[in-house]
Amino acid sequence: MDKAAFRQGLLDFIQRSPTPFHAVRAMSARLEEAGFTALDEGQAWSLRSGGRYYVHRNDSSLIAFTLGDGDVADLGFSMAGAHTDSPCLKIKPDPVMSRHGAVQLGVEVYGGALLAPWFDRDLAIAGRVDYRNADGRIQCALVDSEGPVAVIPSLAIHLDREANQ
């Protein structure tokens, strides 16, 4: 694969992965295309020599591995890992507030976010939504507004005299 194709593939992956849930889904699809088999961590695994496997938990973390052709006790093994989440603003449960003709969503900080870069810029909404379907079962769906739908305004300068410090 040439460098341009690699870069474009990386950019496409990033575009399809605005949240850890989306990243795991995109990576699972790539692993399937590469011949990996999905495993269920709640079931007994039947692994074969030379096999390629992956498993995910909570749709937000993923482990992929391949087995060599020899005995693991003799050959050992290698592992690689990555972190899929990052600091963000999460929409709270039951978040909708309507004040002064504007609809507001309550959010909470996740991780060690620097808040100033989030202010006064167009923001999209993406993530996983859990909902109860018509027969009462809880289901999940991934959502991505794929464009700006919100803004967090910064505090007016006269209300934050230390803003330029």
Give a three-class secondary structure readout of 12-76.
HHHHCCCCHHHHHHHHHHHHHHCCCEECCCCCCCCCCCCCEEEEEECCCEEEEEECCCCCHHHHC
Q: For residue range 17-45, what is the model confidence (pLDDT) as tens digits? A: 999 999 999 999 999 999 999 999 999 99
According to the model, what pLDDT value does residue 86 have?
82
For residue range 90-133, what is the model confidence (pLDDT) as tens digits? Answer: 999 889 999 888 889 999 998 888 888 889 999 999 999 999 99
pTM of the model: 0.80
CA-CA-CA-CA torsion sign (93, 88, 141, 152) = positive
Mean pLDDT of 75-100: 82
Identify the pLDDT of residue 3.
94
